[in-house]
Structure formats: structure tokens, C-alpha cells
Amino acid sequence: MTTKRRNHGRNKHGRGHVKPVRCSNCARCVPKDKAIKRFTVRNMVESAAIRDITDASVYTEYALPKLYIKLHYCVSCAIHSHVVRVRSREGRRNRAPPPRIRYNKDGKKINPNVQQKVTT
């Protein structure tokens, strides 16, 4: 049988064992190097409600705190929640990050390939 990935789907080189972490979604044990890790930085108050909070606040200037969340996903949950996608055989070897679709000021989609030519 062929191997599907050269690194066997994880990032373990030179070690025999890594400790597992639990998936944030389903609590499945996943080795820490195999888990799909995502981080989000978010304000505690959503953008729509900032105005209301600052109006109702006692303090004149209060720096609203932020939430720093680290999420570990098992492979199943990552695919199910569209964090990662299935790729073709050639596409699997592409380790470059995916280009993000950006929007122009008018609200039109900028083609990421075109934008990369402009900025680089």
C-alpha cells in the first residue's frame, strides 16, 4: 500500500511519543503535533455592543479586555467545521498557506493572485 503523506499526517521527527491533547469540539484525544491548532483573538465585547458598554460604563476610559483562545481540533472535527479541506493528491503536498480572499473598499472581491502580484 502507498503512504498518503510523507510525514504520516503529523509533525513528529526525532521523538517516540508526544503527549495527547483533547479536541476542543469532541474531546477526542489527539497527539499534540497532529492536532490542528487555531488561535483566535477576540474582544470580549462584540463590535456592535462596544458603544453601549462604553456609554454605560462608570470609567471614562476603560480598555476592554480581549479573549485569547487556543483551539485544538481532531482531524474529523476540523474537516467537519471546514477548518481544513480535503485536497487532491498534488494539492496535499502544498504546504504554503491558502491565499485569503480579500474585499476591496467597494465591497468587490479581490482576486488573491492578482493582489499578490501587486504587493510583491
The site for another protein (CB under 8 A) is made up of 37-43, 47, 66, 68, 70, 97, 100, 102, 105, 119
Give the torsion sign (CA, 77, 36, 38, 89). Answer: negative
Instruction: Between 46 and 90, name the residue whose CB sits nearer to another protein.
Output: 46
**How far is C-alpha 44 from the geometric centre of its chain's CA atoms?**
19
Helix, strand, coil tally for the chain in percent (to 5):
20, 20, 60
Residue 59 or 68 with smaller CB distance to another protein: 68
- Residues, the chain: 120
Q: How far is the CB of 119 from another protein (least distance, A)?
A: 7
Of 1 and 41, CB closest to another protein: 41
